[in-house]
Amino acid sequence: MNESAKSNLLYFVKWTLYAIVTGLLVGFIGMLFRKGVDFGTANWNAHPQFLLLAPFSAMLIVGLEKLLHEEKNGGTNTVIDSITEGKHITVQTAPLIFLSTVLSHLVGASVGREGAALMIGGSLGEALSKAFRMDEKDKRIAIMCGMSACFAAIFGTPLAAAIFPMEMISIGIMYYAALIPCLFAAFIAAHVSVRFGVYGEAFPVTEVPAFNLRGAVMVIFFAVLCAVLAMAFSILLYRGHRYTAERFPNPWMRGVVGAVALLCLTALNQQFFTHALDFNGGGFALIEKAYRGEAAWYSFLFKMIFTCACLFGSFKGGEIVPTLTIGACFGAAFAGWFGLPVPLYTGIGVAAFFAGMTNSPFTSLLMTFEIFGFAGMPYYAFAIAVCFTLSGYYGLYTSQKFPYSKTQAMFINRKGPRKLWNIPEGTAETKE
């Protein structure tokens, strides 16, 4: 056996064993996290009066940040920086995000859970890399492996979970050295969750019209609108975080203001609009409403506003599920306006908007297949390609790197919104 074959075999054995350990351990913790979030969601649905505790929950989260010395935690951006720039993720990040996200969902905050999964998985991945005494290069793979495992355990989409960490770090460059550990760990973690009764969401789309010229034109038009919406939401997140950090520099006050804003928005919605709690919580119940054609046309706008109010305060969980919800509701609204199939365009909206907000087209395609099925494949592919390209260098994560241009065959080596909007170092950014 030559040296190359020995090296490949050693790589395979080493990372397979590591993926098994990561998949089992991180998968179990991810499963517990998902059960905690589900408990919080069920709690405020059954007892809406828990929403009134939002200010206390916000203060508890700020207190946890101070107790664990995580006031400057940059969210998913910190995880990305740990891979691209060698920065460290503290071990206390995992318990902080775990508890803070559950506290946020207990009071109906409009936040997600998958962004939190990336942070928990990244933190546990770095901790395991230290336990296995890995060098700096292997540590980066270990972090991505942990991210994949936790994402898969919580979301139930192991294919998308395996690819997402490799794709989201540097747009246009895939870290293929992490493919085997990320893939193996994701499927093991997803299986752990299933064994404990935790399943992923599924909204199968079965009735799909033939993909003809009219269908292509309509989906391209919709994807262009999704790109505009993605840019607008990105700008709102960046500018909003910056404004609230400057206007309310005290984190305790910022948390209370965000909680009070959530309560006011909830009261207004119940009094004058949907008369329900549609925009509280992560949003999967609202995605189901959109899928059935029961969501109000303005739901995507309201979900954006609710999410911003919560994230500008101190609530944790991230924007991924709200992003999926906004895309689903916008797709359902578009279908209603133009007489198109609502379930199909709910899936197209999820696919396109997620691609525009995360700059991860292949993850978007795989995730859409896992949630909505393969029947709408050409529609999803067209929407993802158009929205990803036209949304430019915006997105959820300021630490994402763009080594190559989206529209030209040239090396640009830039980051996104930080340079576009001259956001100085140290300014509060999107936290996920």
Mind listing the pLDDT tens digit for each residue in 158-189?
Answer: 999 999 999 999 898 898 999 999 999 999 99
- Band (pLDDT 50/70/90 cuts) for residue 426 is very low
pLDDT of residue 417: 56
**Check: CATH 3.30.465.10 for 3-195?**
no
DSSP string, 174-218: --GGGHHHHHHHHHHHHHHHHHTT---------------HHHHHH
pLDDT in tens, 227-242: 999 999 999 999 999 8
Distance of CA 51 to the CA centre of its chain: 24
User: Which SS3 state, helix, strand or coil, does residue 89 take?
Assistant: coil
113 pLDDT higher than 50: yes
Nearest Cα to Cα of residue 323 among 378, 360, 296, 362: 360
Alpha-carbon gap, residue 122 to 178, rounded angstroms: 14
Q: Within the chain, which residue ranges are assigned CATH 1.10.3080.10? A: 3-195, 213-420
- Band (pLDDT 50/70/90 cuts) for residue 432 is very low
pLDDT in tens, 329-367: 999 999 999 999 999 999 999 999 999 999 999 999 999
DSSP string, 98-156: HHHHHHHHHTT-S--SHHHHHHHHHHHHHHHHHHTT--HHHHHHHHHHHHHHHHHHHH-
Mean pLDDT of 196-221: 96
Within 10 Å of residue 339's Cβ, how many Cβ atoms? 7
**Check: CATH 3.40.50.360 for 213-420?**
no
Mean pLDDT of 196-208: 95
pLDDT in tens, 313-332: 989 998 999 999 999 999 99
Q: Which residue has the higher pLDDT, 7 or 224?
A: 224
Alpha-carbon gap, residue 197 to 272, rounded angstroms: 38
Residue with tokens 């396109």: 352
Alpha-carbon gap, residue 419 to 68, rounded angstroms: 31
pLDDT of residue 101: 97
Strand partners, 402: 414
Helix, strand, coil tally for the chain in percent (to 5):
70, 5, 30
pLDDT of residue 88: 87
**pTM for this prediction:** 0.94
What token pair was written down for 244? Answer: 């609230």
Alpha-carbon gap, residue 417 to 393, rounded angstroms: 7
